[in-house]
Every structure is written in C-alpha cells, then in structure tokens.
Chains A and B, each alone.
Chain A
C-alpha cells in the first residue's frame, strides 16, 4: 500500500537508507491521517454517532427514562409496535411511496425529454436555454414553494384564473386530499426536473458521436439509436441520478412543510414531516426517531441495488 509513487522518489533520493524510507512512509501516513481527521470527525461524530443514537432513542419511552412501559419485547420495540398499529403511520408510508415514486418518475421523464430537446438545438443557443431552465433548481425550495403556495391559494389562485379562461372549473389545490397530494408532487417535479435535465445533458454530451454515425450506417432508426446507443451509454448516470433523487425526494421535508404542513387531515404527511410533527412539535422524540428510522431500510435497499448495478456496469466496461 505504501509503495506507490513516493517509493520511486525516495529510492532515487537515497539508496540503502531503509530507515529513512520507513520513516518517510510513516510520516506520510501520519500526515494523511491528520488531514482526514476533520472529515472523520464529521462523518463519525455528526453522521455515524447520531444514526446509532437515533436507533437507541427509538427504543425509549416518551419521557426518555427507559424502555417503553408495558413493552412485551425485551428490546424496546414499543414505539415501532405503536406505529404499526396506527392508521396514520400507514398513511404516511403510502403517501411517501406514492409521492417519491411518481415524482421521481415524472422528473426523470421530463428531464430526459428536455435534455434531448436541448441536445438537438444548435450549441450556441444551448447555454441560454440551459441557464433559464435550471432556475427552479437554484432558488431555495422552501422559498419557491412559498410562491407556489400563493399560486395555489384557495381564493386568489392564479392557476385557477388561467384554468378559468379555458372554462375549466376551479381546482381545490390544497383543500382536497388527492389534489393536495398532486400539488406536492407538481412542486417537487417543478423543482427537481431541471436537475435531471442537466445530468442527462452532461451524459448525452459524453456519448461519442462515432457511435451514432456507426448506428446510422447500420440503418438504425432514431428509436433504435436511443434504445441501443444512448440509453446503455447513459445507464450509469441515469441510475445514479435516479438514486440520488429518490433519496432526496423520499426524505423531502420543505415542500410538504410549506405547502400543506401535512394537511388536510394528515393525508399529505411524508416520513420527514410526520417525524417532525411527532418528534419535535409533539415532543415525543423517541417516536419521531422511530418514524424517521423507517426511511433507512427503504433507502438502503434502493442504494444497494443501484450501486451494485453501477459497479457491475463499470466492470463490464473495463
């Protein structure tokens, strides 16, 4: 491990001085350790330790004095038991899944479509369009959601005003459960689609032009070019982007908080907003920790499959 790069240098600087070489290597790893120490503090102290502490917290009772009272399991799974019995919690699970899957799917499709369209137009104009289309991603989502909230306002909705022009009846955006769910998804797609677009555009630009020429000579239709050249070449970026977006969307908090705050009747809560409501606002910290811990296995499974696919494809390419 120590024998890379520096070995040649040290060997050139002094042959036969094994002890100084050793010292050099030792010093180097000491320096390297010192340099990574702050990172280790952040990773272990602010991510690893809180994660473990969260697991511990989730086993406590409300007053955090010990395990749940009347807990028949020795391990203190009472919070999970209560959650499993609660209809609201299952609603949250469903809502989170519906929200994350549909939003990511829409973002991926819209982003892919826009990236293709951007790739088609002359390079000169691409910069300008790209700059405009990335604006939703640049504005902090909590603030742009305020704008959406105002656009969804029951009595002043400017979207309903436009719909009225086309004789479409006013939509109760945030008042009716399914519309409220749709609104949250719409805002999330609006915010996240530009990110997909920019990622796909970068991927599209990295596909060598020769592949398309070869495909064209073989008489491939545009659909075949997309299916057999573009998609395989982009598979890694697509899956990493989808993974990243799935995690961020699944764990989303700000849009739900600003737009509906979980309402109407707790029907638009996702894991994060429900954990916040239970843990911080109702100050039942252990149960809140239990709620947010539920995200972990779901995200870990997604991450595992996506990253396995990525490493396998990387190996195939090598």
Chain B
C-alpha cells in the first residue's frame, strides 16, 4: 500500500521540484539584477569623483562632452593637492588626532569592558546600560555645550581640543562591543588563571586581550573610521586652517570662491577618504564584525 502511494506521488514531486527549480532560477536572476542596479547606483558617486579628479580643467568645464567619460586623463590635480602644504597639514592633523583618539579609546574601553564584563561590582549593571545609552546620544546634541567647555579650557582652534572630545563618539560603542566579546570568553579560562596565581592585570593582558583579538581589531577599526570621518566637532571647534583635520579642511578650504576647482576638490576628497577605504579593503571581515556586533549582541 505504501508502495502505491509512493508511486502515485512521484510525478507530483517531480513536477513540484521542476517548478521550484525554475522559480529558484528566476529568483536568482532577479537577485543579480537588483544587485547590479544597486552596485551601479552605490558606486556611481565615488566613480564620478575619481573620473573628475583625473580630468583637465578644460574638460570639466566643457558642456558638450559626456561627463561620465574622460578623454585626456591627467594627474595634475593630484600633483597640485600633494604639493599644497595646507593639505599635507590637514593630513598630519588628522593622523595625529585619529592616532591619539584610537589609543585613548582602546585603553579606556578595554579596561572598562573587562571590569564590567568580569568583575561585577556595585553599579556595574547600571553603568553597562549607561554606556549603551551614551552611545545613543548624538554628537549634534552636545556640540554647543562642548564648544563652551572646550573654549573654557582654551582648546578651541587646536587639534588637542578634538582629541579631548572625540572619545565621546568612540568610547561608548567600543566599550559596548568589547563587553560583548569579553562576556563570550568562557569563565573557566579566568578561573584557571586565578588558580595559577595571575592577578587581574595579567589575566586581562595574557588571556582576555589575545582571546578577544578579533573584537579588539574590530573596535579599533571602528574608532579609527569614526574619528577620521568626524565632522561636527571639527567644524564647530576649529576655524584656523592650520589646525583643521582633513574632513573639514577639504570641505571648507578647498571649496572657496566662485569658480570651484572641481578637479582639485575631488582629488582632495578622494585622498582624504583613502585611509578608511584601504582599511576596509584589507580588513573587511573585522570591519563588518564591528558594525554588526552592536546589534547582534545587544
């Protein structure tokens, strides 16, 4: 009896499988079409910036030409921007600020995350929640009082004022994801370390930091990209060109006058965007782990 039902069902299954396969093929086709359209739209602006940065001024100004094509590529804009001392100054400022902020952030957040994840103490739960809520406070809510505070410290128009305030952007999130990474380390490891007579600092440096290395890399990348791209604070706090980091430097100093030097602006913007893009290209998996860690662990 079972044999008859089975044989009766066979054509039906085949039919279904066939339609399923064609359905799959359509779905796949459809998926590729939407991905290609999305990729074209997503990559068009950077591509166009790249194109413009290689065009001669005459070609940029010529209305009759196809703007999406290039006839006589030139590197004159890159040469001009790289020999511009103020652009180099912006770059150095950005490197100093970002470097200091990344180091500060990682020290603060690794220490705090270790304490919050492992050493339960009075108020640690509240503090962990507080860190998450701090992360939700946007920079544009605080920049005016911070402007007064930084001004009171005499750090307006100085990269050190930026080093002081950037941790508000990076520390909460980095602490948050480090808590997540540390909490996922099995308790047996620290018990073993304690029995072997390790103190807390040794435990952190010899066990937690190496084991949570992927998390530390992800958090470092996050801190780097955020402080490199920070815009509100430098725009508000720095008005002298010598102390500007790249983002506001390119936006405010290269864009001036009535005739825009589009080629140079685009070359400058692309060079300014290069460090995060390079890091992304080489450490994409860590980058994405850092992005998604906040939500999946939260």
A residues within 8 Å of B by Cβ? Answer: 1-2, 4-6, 8-9, 12-13, 28-29, 31-33, 35-36, 38-40, 42-43, 46-47, 49-51, 53-54, 57, 110, 113-114, 116-118, 120-121, 127, 129-136, 138-144, 146-148, 150-151, 155-156, 158, 161-162, 190, 193-195, 198-199, 202-203, 206, 236-237, 240-241, 243-244, 247-248, 250-254, 257-258, 271-272, 275-276, 279-280, 285, 288-289, 292-293, 295-296, 299, 303, 310
Contact = CB atoms under 8 A, between A and B. Distances in A.
Given A46-B146, A140-B273, A251 B139 contact: yes
Contact of B67 (A116, A158, A258, A293): A158
Given A134-B280, A161-B67, A293-B141, 18 more contacts: A28-B200, A42-B108, A110-B38, A116-B31, A120-B28, A130-B288, A134-B284, A143-B247, A143-B272, A144-B273, A146-B250, A146-B269, A195-B291, A199-B295, A202-B296, A240-B294, A253-B232, A280-B144
Interface residues of B, number: 100
Contacts of A195: 291
A268 B268 CA distance: 27
B266 A150 contact: yes
A148 to B, nearest CB: 6
B140 A295 contact: yes
Contact of A139 (B46, B67, B108, B187): B46
Nearest to B170: A42
B171 A39 contact: yes
B115 A280 contact: no
Interface stretch (B6-14, B79-87, B128-136): B128-136
B112 interface: yes
B188 to A, nearest CB: 10
B287 to A, nearest CB: 8
A243 to B, nearest CB: 8
A9 B191 contact: yes
Contacts of A253: 139-140, 231-232, 235
Given A28-B200, A142-B231, A120 B136 contact: no
A240 B295 contact: yes
Interface string B263-280: 001100110110011001
A272 B236 CA distance: 11
Nearest to A249: B138
B42 A143 contact: no
B207 interface: no
Given A138-B280, A150-B266, A161-B68, A288 B144 contact: yes
B127 interface: yes
19 contacts: A2-B121, A5-B191, A13-B195, A31-B115, A36-B116, A46-B168, A134-B280, A139-B276, A140-B276, A143-B250, A151-B45, A190-B41, A251-B138, A251-B141, A275-B144, A276-B140, A276-B232, A280-B144, A288-B144
Contacts of B231: 140-142, 253-254, 257
Given A31-B119, A203-B296, A155 B228 contact: no
B235 A257 contact: yes
Nearest to A113: B34
Interface of B is mostly: helix
Contacts, number: 303
Contacts of B120: 1-2, 4
A177 B146 CA distance: 32
Contact of A39 (B109, B137, B295): B109
Contact of A53 (B108, B148, B255): B148
B92 interface: no
B66 A161 contact: yes
A38 B111 contact: yes
Given A140-B229, A147-B48, A275 B127 contact: no
Given A53-B149, A202-B296, A285-B147, A147 B140 contact: no
Interface string B215-233: 0000000000100110110
Given A50-B145, A247-B136, A271-B140, A28 B60 contact: no
B168 A47 contact: yes
